[in-house]
Amino acid sequence: MKKSFDLPGNEQFIWASLVDVALKVSDKVQFNILFKGEELENFFKNYKNARIRKEKDVWNKFYTSGDIVELTINKKEPLILNNLDGFSYWKNNFIEDPSFWIGEHEILASISHEDMVMVDLKYFEDIPQNIVLYDLPKE
């Protein structure tokens, strides 16, 4: 069952703990591309297994705003997410709105400019009690 919630003021701890769980089980991470340019080019130089997927080919992502970058999670090399300051890093960055996947199943997603997160409760059973979870709209 998938639910969404707004990140409260202590988002740093909550986001970090969600990412920690997601990295243990996910096989890929996707990001919406906010703008293309030198930063995106450098990203592809550093992450050889990254690829761009066209928006029309991404039908089951919680939130998409155009083309996306998909990065296979390689347990042997450090992932970009290991060195970030937290959720606020993703607001208005060249890539934003990270989402974590197992195959074609999205388990953790975000809309960073809205401070919103979606989780699949099957993988995130220990959501803090003070977070209000919302049902997702029916498709």
pTM of the model: 0.85
Q: Residue 24 carries which side chain, given as an amino acid letter?
A: K
Residue 27 token pair: 């096989």
- Averaged pLDDT for residues 102-119: 90
d(CA 18, CA 43): 23
- What are the sequence ranges of the domains in the chain? 2-133
Instruction: Give strand pairing partners of 105.
Output: 102
Paired with 59 in beta bridges are none
Residue 103 pLDDT grade (very low, low, confident, very high; cuts 50, 70, 90): very high
- Classify strands 68-72 and 50-53 as parallel, antiparallel or unpaired: antiparallel
| Strands 68-72, 95-102: pairing kind | unpaired
Residue pLDDT, tens place only, 18-56 = 888 888 899 999 999 999 999 999 888 888 888 888 877
**Listed residue (123, 126, 128) closest to 109, CA to CA:** 123
Neighbouring C-alpha atoms within 13 Å toward the C-beta of 132: 2
- pLDDT single digits (tens) 82-92: 655 578 888 88
